[in-house]
Structure 1
């Protein structure tokens, strides 16, 4: 299992990649979810 800290960084990178494709509200939710997600898999399942 990927350590939580690395997973959060990975999720943040994903958010940055899709940043330009989302509206402001979605961006905020994306970053919130990224920091709440315990790992990359659970994060991706929500998107």
Structure 2
């Protein structure tokens, strides 16, 4: 399940590391997206 969500995140959600987003200037929504991607990625790698 988590591997599927990780692939879906990669396709649908923006990659802020490629855009070189400064975390101190990120909005709350951007921080939430980063946290969600991190959570799903770590769960997918753990399985």
Larger helix fraction of residues? 1
Which of the two has higher C-alpha Rg?
A: 2
Which TM bucket (shorter chain)? 0.3 to 0.5
Normalising by the residue count of structure 1, what TM-score does the alignment of the two structures yield?
A: 0.40
Normalising by the residue count of structure 2, what TM-score does the alignment of the two structures yield?
A: 0.40
